[in-house]
Amino acid sequence: MNIFRLTGDLSHLAAIIILLLKIWKSRSCAGISGKSQILFALVFTTRYLDLFTSFISLYNTCMKLIYIGCAYATVYLIYAKFRATYDGNHDSFRVEFLVVPVGGLSVLINHDFSPLEILWTFSIYLESVAILPQLFMISKTGEAETITTHYLFCLGLYRALYLFNWIWRFYFEGFFDMIAIVAGVVQTVLYCDFFYLYVTKVLKGKKLSLPA
């Protein structure tokens, strides 16, 4: 555990909590892509199956349970409790265009051709693109609430910090995982455009709105 890894995890946790609180406090999920949230729930479910097979640390187990629990709670709020506020018409990204290629790729390129390993690989690949329905929704409506942009920033920051964590681990521990690194780079790159808008607009007190 290094400082990048810890702050990355905390940033990830902050993102998840921000989104849950935003929906809960405003009693609305307007502007939030339910499809992205379903994909994240799928990511955590397929990655953390090792909860049943191996114990790493209390920290590790607790965080996994919190991530999974929050992911399903978010999906529940969007599709059940506050369904009336869900903006399905604007959440029109075709997720099969992500899930099918990612599924194929995880079968083709993995560390070991075993069920748990393929599911872990699937979750890594899927996580890297799971935010696309949300970004698509924002580009379609042309704007995002400020709290939603804080959520996206924390979520992007998390993977960027993990990149530094992997650099650290490579130099000091000799560890590296090519699948995680390549997917992590892809994931971080997808946020770059958003990071630019966040810094130039939101941090200067303006609402994030895209030119028509």
Residues 9-68 that bind other proteins (CB under 8 A): 9, 12, 50, 54, 56-57, 60, 63-64, 67
Interface segment toward other proteins; rule CB under 8 A; list 75-83, 140-148, 173-181, 195-203: 173-181
Q: Which lies closer to other proteins via its Cβ, residue 170 or residue 196? A: 170
- The 3-state DSSP class for residue 195 equals helix
Please state, in angstroms and as integers, the Cα–Cα distance from residue 117 to each residue in 13, 49, 114, 124, 130, following that order: 25, 10, 5, 11, 19
Of the pair 9, 91, the CB lying nearest other proteins is at: 9
Using CB under 8 A, which of the segments 26-34, 69-77, 132-140, 161-169 binds other proteins? 161-169
Of 130, 185, 196, the residue nearest 163 (C-alpha): 185
- Token digits for 146? 């400020």
DSSP string computed for 6-52: HHHHHHHHHHHHHHHHHHHHHT--TT--HHHHHHHHHHHHHHGGGGT
Q: How many of the chain's residues bind other proteins (CB under 8 A)? A: 25
Residues that bind other proteins (CB under 8 A): 5, 9, 12, 50, 54, 56-57, 60, 63-64, 67, 111, 120, 124, 162, 165-166, 169, 174-180
